């Protein structure tokens, strides 16, 4: 059995190495030949998969970090504490990868620092750039105690602990701003976007769905980590997280439904165009199926169903971001776009690098809580004051 | 606004000779891209083109494509590093020394004008500059100067608006009754007249009269509100829930 697991891991390591190898080759081509030779971008379609996936999905999927901070440090619901570190680690790595991905997409990556000194406060992109810069710093500070603990740098640890509350608040505010602003980026192209996705409420949708998917990412990584690193699963916490995820995803959908109805766009859903089909797929995968699973108490409390619903929500979220950035724009502008093999290669490499970095961090730092959480019984985990809280809600 | 220059392109007067696109290349030192200017496309080396269209009685219509030099340009508003500028004389200009290559200007332009040097390793955004260098010397744009029929006319924007309205009024049978660029997305410094609806000549349709930067402007106006309300909310919740936990703890001790 142990041998089997070992072989299994080695197999995935080989796959990962191949992906990274091809990603490095793509990187070499991107650096030496430029955007034109390595991507399928064009004057008619200047933003592709690196914006749609690496940035829009990357930032959204990293939302778990600020959500869990808000829950445990602002709302003081302490029982979610075991989930904080992995969520912050995911967010921190996620943002590093987003920045790395951005450097591939920028035509002049070495000039990226211009955004620091050349300001245009009318630009949503400018706001996003600053928020991402600041929030990545915040995430580093939030993650740093884990590093300082490891190396016993107590004086640094003390400083970071002292400023932790305002830092967390800042992180939540910055996340609120740029998670929604990624949607605002598209507000300025009402005539170049399909009406099923363009809406003045885009920033609201982006914000709410990021929160929804952030919860699901927490479930997803807890489940996988439990298997890979042989840790216990905090099912009692995750079930509740699953419900939160369903609520945010469901509310996003309801607002969208009212929005489409109010502007008389409902007919577009059944227009049987490429857009309408992909819109329906997005709603079915990302909303209807997982919300139906999660609203069922029995299914929600079953580990694998909870995991499956999280996978659906994450897939649907990515579907949505790619629809907004690609489907909604390519058809209307007659710009058939499908990412090139090198665009895909780089993106896949970034994902693998993220997984490797996560694995590395978990191995060498105390990211996951120690053994006491392996038991699922609440009484053993919770201190009396927490039991009190639990009884209240 | 008073001295803002512009162009009036009257497609009913255009014969499709393509001189404008050739003169543009010369005035802006652009590489030759096609032997037939009518089949050329906008590119990093081509700032303007003339294309042939067919009217409802199968008559030939020629129309130009070039940067519209919006009054309140989308590109100026979206550029994160402020590489675009609407000059008081009219041209919308791009400063390549600031550009980081995010291509938001291209993504956002309602007229789909900016082009990119895709094959370069240090690419620039390229588009018509309304011959800003010639305007400085008191000259008209190269395209207007060379136009043999007067289809492209250079002048003060206010004068051109009046001229365009006059033409429609005096020849209602010739013109589709609309001046394209008067109000489109807040108005442009390039005005167009035609005998058919403008979307048939490749011009962007359904543009709102409101400048597009207003759309994102509203979202950005919410930033200070979100920050202050968010801080108050988070601070309040922090204090409240902490207090609640404390009371719960104390009560627990007493019991």
CA–CA distance, A179 with A255 (Å, rounded to integer): 18
Put simply, the answer to whether B80 touches A115 (Cβ < 8 Å) is yes
CA angle in degrees (0–180, nearest 5) for B214-B217-B223: 160
| The two three-digit tokens of residue B141, written as one number | 């744009």
Put simply, the answer to whether B231 touches A181 (Cβ < 8 Å) is no
User: The complex's ipTM?
Assistant: 0.90
Please state the separation of Cα B104 from the chain's center in Å. 13
Put simply, the answer to whether A108 touches B100 (Cβ < 8 Å) is yes
Q: Is the pLDDT of residue A30 over 70?
A: yes
E strand or H helix at B153: strand B152-156
Select from B42, B107, B230 the Cβ nearest to the Cβ of A176.
B230
Q: How confident is the model at residue A62 (pLDDT cuts 50, 70, 90)?
A: very high
Q: What's the pLDDT score for residue A378?
A: 42
The alpha-carbon gap from A359 to the nearest alpha carbon of chain B, in Å, equals 32
Count the residues in chain A. 393
The alpha-carbon gap from B67 to the nearest alpha carbon of chain A, in Å, equals 14
Q: How confident is the model at residue A369 (pLDDT cuts 50, 70, 90)?
A: low
Residue A329 in contact with residue A87, Cβ under 8 Å? no
Residue A236 in contact with residue A378, Cβ under 8 Å? yes
* Assigned superfamily of A23-37+44-367: Formate dehydrogenase/DMSO reductase domain (1.20.1630.10)
Select from B76, B114, B241 the Cβ nearest to the Cβ of A75.
B241
Select from B103, B121, B204 the Cβ nearest to the Cβ of A46.
B103
Residue B134 in contact with residue B26, Cβ under 8 Å? no
> Among A229, A215, A226, which Cα is nearest to A362's?
A229
In chain B, residues with a C-beta closer than 8 Å to the C-beta of A77 are: 241
Using only C-alpha atoms, chain B has a radius of gyration, in whole angstroms, of 25
**What's the burial of B233, exposed, middle or buried (CB within 10 Å: 0-12/13-18/19+)?**
middle
Select from A122, A125, A177 the Cβ nearest to the Cβ of B217.
A122
Q: Is the pLDDT of residue A359 over 90?
A: no
Tokens 């706001």, residue? A127
Query: Which tens digits make up the pLDDT trace of A244-277?
Result: 999 999 999 999 999 999 998 888 888 888 999 9
E strand or H helix at B115: strand B115-116
What's the whole-model pTM score?
A: 0.90
Q: What's the pLDDT score for residue A72?
A: 87
Query: Which tens digits make up the pLDDT trace of A301-354?
Result: 888 899 999 999 999 999 999 999 999 999 888 888 999 999 999 999 999 999
Put simply, the answer to whether B241 touches A121 (Cβ < 8 Å) is no
Q: Is the pLDDT of residue A391 over 50?
A: no
Query: What phi-psi label fits residue B92: left (phi over 0), alpha (psi between -120 and 50 degrees) or beta?
Result: beta
Put simply, the answer to whether A109 touches B101 (Cβ < 8 Å) is yes
CA–CA distance, A353 with A218 (Å, rounded to integer): 19
Q: What's the pLDDT score for residue A332?
A: 84
In chain B, residues with a C-beta closer than 8 Å to the C-beta of A188 are: 74, 77-78, 108, 212-213, 215-216
Put simply, the answer to whether B101 touches A46 (Cβ < 8 Å) is no
CA–CA distance, A87 with A219 (Å, rounded to integer): 10
Residue A177 in contact with residue B226, Cβ under 8 Å? yes
Residue A354 in contact with residue A61, Cβ under 8 Å? no
Q: How many other C-beta atoms are found inside a 10 Å radius of the C-beta of residue A254?
A: 11
Three-state SS string over chain A comes to CHHHHHHHHHHHHHHHHHHHHHHHHHHHHHHHHCHHHHCCCECCECCCHHHHHHHHHHHHHCCHHHHHHHHHHHCCCHHHHHHHHHHHHHHHHHHHHHHHHHHHHCCCHHHCCHHHHCCCCCCHHHHHHHHHHHHHHHHHHHHHHHHHHHCCCHHHHHHHHHCHHHHHHHHHHHHHHHHHHHHHCCCCCCCCCCCCCCCCCHHHHHHHHHHHHHHHHHHHHHHHHHHHCCCCCCHHHHHHHHHHHHHHHHHHHHHHHHHHHHCCCHHHHCCCCHHHHHHHHHHHHHHHHHHHHHHCHHHHCCHHHHHHHHHHHHHHHHHHHHHHHHHHHHCCCCCCCCCCHHHHHHHHHHHHHHHHHHHHHHHHCCCCCCHHHHCCCHHHHCCHHHHHHHHHC
CA–CA distance, A382 with A313 (Å, rounded to integer): 30
Q: Is the pLDDT of residue A377 over 60?
A: no
Select from A77, A115, A169 the Cβ nearest to the Cβ of B81.
A115
> Among A286, A285, A300, which Cα is nearest to A244's?
A300
pLDDT tens string, chain B, 255 residues long: the values are 458 999 999 999 999 999 999 999 999 999 988 888 888 999 999 999 999 999 888 889 999 999 999 999 999 999 999 999 999 999 999 999 999 999 999 999 999 999 999 999 999 999 999 999 999 999 999 999 999 999 999 999 999 999 999 999 999 999 999 999 999 999 999 999 999 999 999 999 899 999 999 999 888 988 999 999 999 999 898 899 888 888 888 888 876
In chain B, residues with a C-beta closer than 8 Å to the C-beta of A107 are: 99-103, 116, 122-123
Q: Is the pLDDT of residue A375 over 60?
A: no
Put simply, the answer to whether B238 touches A165 (Cβ < 8 Å) is yes
Question: Phi, psi at residue B11, to the nearest 5°?
Answer: -65, -20
Using only C-alpha atoms, chain A has a radius of gyration, in whole angstroms, of 21
Put simply, the answer to whether B74 touches A188 (Cβ < 8 Å) is yes
E strand or H helix at B20: helix B19-27
């Amino acid at each position: 059995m142990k041998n089997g697991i070992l072989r299994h891991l080695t197999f995935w390591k080989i796959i990962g190495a191949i992906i990274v190898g091809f990603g490095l080759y793509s990187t070499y081509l991107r650096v030496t030949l430029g955007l034109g030779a390595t991507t399928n971008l064009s004057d008619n379609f200047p933003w592709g998969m690196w914006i749609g996936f690496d940035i829009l999905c990357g930032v959204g999927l990293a939302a778990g970090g600020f959500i869990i901070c808000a829950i445990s440090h602002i709302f003081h619901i302490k029982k979610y504490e075991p989930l904080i570190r992995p969520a912050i680690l995911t967010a921190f790595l996620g943002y590093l990868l987003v920045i790395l991905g951005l450097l591939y997409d920028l035509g002049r990556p070495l000039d990226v620092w211009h955004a620091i000194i050349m300001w245009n406060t009318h630009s949503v992109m400018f706001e996003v750039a600053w928020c991402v810069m600041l929030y990545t710093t915040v995430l580093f500070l939030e993650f740093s105690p884990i590093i300082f603990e490891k190396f016993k740098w107590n004086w640094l640890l003390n400083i970071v602990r002292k400023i932790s509350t305002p830092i967390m608040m800042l992180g939540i505010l910055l996340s609120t701003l740029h998670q929604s602003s990624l949607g605002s980026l598209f507000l300025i192209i009402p005539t170049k976007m399909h009406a099923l996705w363009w809406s003045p409420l885009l920033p609201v949708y982006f914000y709410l769905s990021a929160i929804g998917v952030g919860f699901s990412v927490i479930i997803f990584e807890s489940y996988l980590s439990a298997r890979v690193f042989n840790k216990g699963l905090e099912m009692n916490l995750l079930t509740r997280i699953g419900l939160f995820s369903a609520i945010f995803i469901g509310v996003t959908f309801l607002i969208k439904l009212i929005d489409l109805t109010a502007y008389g766009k409902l007919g577009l859903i059944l227009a049987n165009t490429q857009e309408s089909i992909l819109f329906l797929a997005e709603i079915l995968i990302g909303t209807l199926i997982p919300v139906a699973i999660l609203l069922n108490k029995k299914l929600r409390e079953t580990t694998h169903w909870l995991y499956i619903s999280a996978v659906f929500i994450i897939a649907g979220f990515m579907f949505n971001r790619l629809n907004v950035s690609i489907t909604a724009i390519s058809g209307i502008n007659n710009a058939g776009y499908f990412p090139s093999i090198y665009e895909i290669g780089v993106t896949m490499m970034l994902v693998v690098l993220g997984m490797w970095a996560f694995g590395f961090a978990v191995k060498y730092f105390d990211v996951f809580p120690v053994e006491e959480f392996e038991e699922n019984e609440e009484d053993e985990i919770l201190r009396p004051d927490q039991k009190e809280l639990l009884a209240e809600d | 606004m008073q001295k803002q220059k512009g162009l009036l392109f009257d497609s009913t007067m255009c014969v499709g000779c393509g001189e404008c696109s050739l003169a543009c290349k010369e005035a802006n030192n652009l590489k030759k891209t096609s032997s037939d200017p009518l089949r050329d496309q906008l590119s990093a080396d081509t700032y303007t083109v003339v294309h042939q269209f067919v009217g409802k009685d199968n008559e030939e219509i020629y129309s130009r494509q070039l940067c519209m030099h919006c009054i309140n340009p989308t590109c100026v508003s979206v550029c994160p590093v402020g590489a675009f500028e609407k000059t008081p004389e009219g041209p919308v200009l791009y400063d390549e020394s600031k550009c980081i290559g995010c291509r938001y200007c291209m993504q956002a332009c309602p007229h789909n004008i900016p082009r990119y040097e895709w094959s370069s390793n240090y690419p620039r955004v390229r588009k018509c500059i309304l011959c800003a260098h010639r305007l400085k010397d008191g000259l008209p744009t190269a395209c207007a100067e060379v136009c043999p029929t007067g289809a492209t006319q250079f002048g003060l924007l206010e004068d051109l608006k009046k001229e365009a309205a006059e033409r429609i009024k005096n020849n209602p049978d010739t013109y589709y009754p609309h001046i394209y660029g008067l109000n489109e997305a807040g108005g442009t410094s390039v005005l167009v007249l035609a005998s058919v609806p403008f979307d048939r000549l490749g011009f962007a349709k359904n543009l709102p009269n409101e400048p597009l930067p207003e759309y994102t402007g509203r979202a950005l106006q919410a930033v200070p509100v979100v920050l202050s309300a968010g801080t108050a909310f988070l601070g309040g919740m922090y204090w409240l829930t902490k207090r609640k936990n404390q009371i719960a703890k104390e009560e627990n001790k007493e019991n």
